[in-house]
Amino acid sequence: MDIKVIEQRELFAKEVGRYKSFPTVVKTDSYIFLAFREGIVNPEKPHGESGVVRLFRSADAIEWDEISVPFSDNELDAIISGPFGEHLFLWTRSFVYRVKSDVYLSRFKVGESPTSRSIFRLPDATFCPFSHIRQVDSLLLGTGYGEIDGVVTPIIVESGDLGDSWSVRGLVTPDGFSPELNEVSLLPLDDEFIAVMRSREPSFELYYSFSKDASVWNEPDGIGILGQAPMLLKSCGGRVLFVFRDLMEEIPGVGLAVSDNFSEWTYFRIDKYTGDMYDGGYADIIELDRNEFFIVYYISDEDGSPWIRATFVRLF
């Protein structure tokens, strides 16, 4: 397996004092939708402050038109999912470090703007969303991490009514696990599910697990790749890929892992950055055409003012 970088493009350029981060992307029949969070740099606060959600639409992944989003309560996340029929979903999170972390979910029609959002809570659990919502038949499956009964674990949530109500479907590590796992991305396969997860520092190794029903999960195994924030995709040809904050080298970057059978993963470094490790590296990926992919991510340099970049790649 080999990879060719077709082009790198600055989608939303660096502005000193602005903090652009955490991009996510989905593809519909006609458009590509990209969301990210933009704030003001403040070295005293993780990822800055005064965060707002920005949402864009493009027909070619080059020219982008902004869609109005009224969410500006110091937002930290902007996770777009779908399409599910005629709808898209948007996770957002109003965040103040060690003060609040209020999760919201918006549902809006393709071609319209998200004008409202509903608070998202789980009984007797904390929950932080991560990665895309998936659809399996009439069921929506969301992913995140949090604490239930004193155990921190990746959490799978489900909705059978197009997001009007949600409940816990499964815990990947209900009895705990060492190292502790959190950020999780889920992908339905032909007859099972795969989850790829981040481990807490100082491990940095990515783990994966399988489940027949997204409820009960096998004990996670290490992939042998060091990174954070995995985002999964199944290609048209059946390969499973994920992008991640790449910690395989001394200088942090953006990585891509690809597998045909899960017994072996092929690793590629897509990009690197010279800023702080935590000021870059979160990425997302879509397939534009067979074996041609659009990878979007944020990076930074010594100024600590991250921006949004994309790399177009082809796999052979």
The HSE-up count of residue 46 (CA atoms within 13 Å, CB side) is 11
State both tokens at 256: 């891509």
Report DSSP letters for 32-62, one per residue: EEEEEEEEE--TTSTT-EEEEEEEEEESSSS
* pLDDT value, residue 76: 95
Which of 311, 315, 305 is closest to 14 using CA atoms? Answer: 305
Residue 289 burial (C-beta neighbours within 10 Å; 0-12, 13-18, 19+):
exposed
* Tally of residues, the chain: 316
CA dihedral for 251, 291, 139, 33, sign (positive or negative): positive
Confidence of residue 203 (pLDDT cuts 50, 70, 90): confident
Q: Is the whole-model pTM more than 0.85?
A: yes
CA distances to 124, 136, 220, 247, 288 from 147, in Å: 9, 26, 18, 26, 37
pLDDT digits (tens, 9 = 90+) for 155-198: 999 999 999 999 999 999 999 999 999 999 999 999 999 999 99
pLDDT digits (tens, 9 = 90+) for 78-133: 999 999 999 999 999 999 888 899 999 999 999 999 999 999 999 888 999 999 99
State both tokens at 155: 């959490």
Which of 260, 298, 257 is closest to 278 using CA atoms? Answer: 298
Torsion angle, alpha carbons of 67, 71, 72, 73, to 10: -170
* Beta-bridge partners for 102: 94
* In 93-178, alpha helices (H): none
End-to-end CA gap in the chain = 6
CA distances to 62, 130, 150, 210, 247 from 96, in Å: 34, 18, 22, 34, 27
Confidence of residue 136 (pLDDT cuts 50, 70, 90): very high
CA distances to 15, 163, 275 from 301, in Å: 12, 39, 4
pLDDT digits (tens, 9 = 90+) for 237-280: 999 999 999 999 999 999 999 999 888 999 999 999 999 999 99
